[in-house]
Amino acid sequence: MRKILLIGNPNVGKSVFFSRLTGVHVISSNYPGTTVEYTKGYTLIGQEKVEVIDVPGTYTLTPTCKAEEVACQMMAEGDVLINIVDATNLERNLYLTIELMEKKVPIIVALNFSDEAEHKGIKIDVQALSKWLAVPVVPTVAVTGQGFAMLTAEIFRTRARAVRQHSLVERWEDVGKLISRVQQIEQRRHTLVEWLQDLTIRPLTGLPMALVVAFLAFAVVRFIGEGLIHYLFEPFFANFYTPLVMQMSKLLGGWGFLHHILIGNLIDGQVDYFQSFGLLTTGIFIPLGAVAPYIFSFYLVLGVLEDSGYLPRLAILLDTFLHRIGLHGFAIVPTILGFGCNVPGIMATRILESRRERFIASTLISIGVPCSALQVMIIGVLGRYGAWPLLTVYLSLFISWLVIGFVLNQALPGFSPELLLEIPPYRLPPLKIIYIKLKYRIKSFLFEALPIVLVGVGLVNLLYYFGLFNFVANLAAPVVASLWGLPKETVLPIVIGFLRKDVAVGMLLPLQLTIKQLIVASVVLSMFFPCIATFVVLLRELGAKETAKATAIMIFAALLAGGLLNFFL
């Protein structure tokens, strides 16, 4: 099977390009011997099935980091290279193009963002560019699919061209000559979008706008999530699912071991989805009726922020601030990813230059960055009591994140390098890509969360049924009750938090806690021992010794934060 490699600078639209070629049937894996992830998929070109590989973004074939090193190693695996070039930044992109041509492999240049270049007054003579490079050059717009028919038609026709080896200076000289021949830029006024781009990167205007974006994001998450619960999920459970459960309860005789496990306890003869603790009642309702609506809305908002070009601007804005805690601005990208899920957030710390930065960033993400599933449960549990309980939880997590980061920056040797980051223009997020990511994120959540909820609910029922719960709870009572001011029943959710933190917060609902106790429990569960998936990734990324240090910091921070909140509240 032939292999087609998509290669280009970061932020040239490779991911959208890849999705347009392969659809949704993709595989993500680590390159052998490394922790650098790449994506591959398959497509039909004519009657032939070919493998398409999305190579990690690189500026040069002289690697400066692990991702660029992997990109260079993968070069030998491709039968055809599609070099994706940003038409709005042609000069910078062509340096890599000349390097690729020196490798004497079949290559096609995809001139992506051709529509944006035209809107910006950039005119490129495609025929002259193709003639000078002696390779096919195809203008494309990956979001709409423009140019893809011509591109695929060229794939099996292109041949390797013999290009002499250049020195670094000679490459840039050739790029300069080429740009002068094929590109013209017309003078024009700034558009409204460009004015907005400037405003969002300046601290005086960018920071207030970042707060507005954060507020609107959470407002939209809550609005969509609560709307789905009120108008879709609650009617479904009340009108369709509950009668089925009550019918099954009657068939089981209303009591006995099997009824206790499947249905749980009936409250005044009725199912209470927060207190019955049956596999088919609480076990089904928590992930589907209470969490899934917020998961949908959060991932929808996160997808828009990811694909609009806003996150790199946020990195620039926060660079100086993040240096105070031993990081630089680009650490905001794994941090933002951590708000979706801590696992990809910690994996994304590979983009940071030093092991010191990766340790600090991974530890802070595990402590102070609640994943989307955990956030939606916190919002679902505390949101009904107004804004101040949620504000207390987030403020506590932020202060903990800040203090621990400052201490680690002072305690660990080394320094944080300056931020060198390319800022892409604002773009309308492609709906198809948002839909694909949303679909797979929700699917992943349901397949992961539902079994854990069922295991947790089943464990609670078994402990209660055999009278063992009090014994387990009494072992942890000194810390849970005395230090944190929580009832001993919260021991089990804290233990379940090692498997899945959002599930653990959901298990607080049947315990009828006060607002103060819910705040303390939410903060403790957010900061305490990482969930098992995050723990495994920490082991892989940091090693056993560094993971042990990070875990000890998390446990100590959770003990201290929970105790202080219990005392002051």
Q: Is the pLDDT score of 28 beyond 60? A: no
What's the confidence (pLDDT) of residue 312? 74
Average pLDDT over residues 3-24: 82
Handedness of CA 353, 355, 357, 362 (dihedral sign): positive
CB 373 within 8 A of CB 449: yes
Of the listed ranges 85-99, 100-114, 406-420, the least confidently predicted one is 406-420
Tokens 């930044």 map to which residue?
89
What's the confidence (pLDDT) of residue 26? 53
**Helix, strand, coil share (%) of the chain residues, nearest 5:** 65, 10, 25
Q: Is the pLDDT score of 31 beyond 50? A: no
Q: Is the pLDDT score of 561 beyond 70? A: yes
Instruction: Render pLDDT for 202-255 as a digit per residue (tens, 0 to 9).
Output: 778 888 888 888 788 777 877 888 888 889 988 998 889 888 888 888 888 777
For residue 211, how far is the Cα from the chain centroid? 20
What's the confidence (pLDDT) of residue 190? 67
For residue 258, how far is the Cα from the chain centroid? 40
**Number of neighbouring beta carbons within 10 Å of residue 299:** 26
Q: Is the pLDDT score of 286 beyond 90? A: no
Of the pLDDT bands very low, low, confident and very high (cuts 50, 70, 90), residue 33 is very low
Instruction: Name residue 110's beta-bridge partners.
Output: 84, 138
Burial (CB count within 10 angstroms: exposed 0-12, middle 13-18, buried 19+), residue 86:
buried
CB 141 within 8 A of CB 147: yes
Instruction: Render pLDDT for 443-486 as a digit per residue (tens, 0 to 9).
Output: 776 776 677 667 767 776 777 777 676 676 677 677 777 888 88
Mean pLDDT of the chain: 80
Average pLDDT over residues 399-415: 86
CA distance 287 to 525: 18
Of the listed ranges 23-37, 176-190, 507-521, the least confidently predicted one is 23-37
H or E segment to which residue 28 belongs: strand 26-30
Q: Is the pLDDT score of 384 beyond 90? A: no
Domain ranges of the chain: 3-185, 203-568
Average pLDDT over residues 545-564: 90
Q: 409 or 192: whose pLDDT is higher?
A: 409
Average pLDDT over residues 51-80: 80
CA distance 306 to 302: 6
Q: 519 or 22: whose pLDDT is higher?
A: 519
Instruction: Render pLDDT for 290-328 as a digit per residue (tens, 0 to 9).
Output: 767 877 887 788 788 877 878 777 777 777 778 778 787
What's the confidence (pLDDT) of residue 84? 94
**Number of neighbouring beta carbons within 10 Å of residue 125:** 14
Fold topology of 3-185:
Rossmann fold (3.40.50)
Q: 267 or 94: whose pLDDT is higher?
A: 94
Average pLDDT over residues 505-524: 86
Q: 464 or 426: whose pLDDT is higher?
A: 426
| pTM beyond cutoff 0.85 | no
What's the confidence (pLDDT) of residue 137? 92
Which residues neighbour 12 within 8 Å (Cβ) at sequence distance 6 or greater? 57, 84, 85, 86, 93, 112, 113
CA distance 561 to 158: 62
Torsion of CA 25, 290, 377, 222, to 10 degrees: 90
Q: Is the pLDDT score of 399 beyond 90? A: yes
What's the confidence (pLDDT) of residue 213? 84
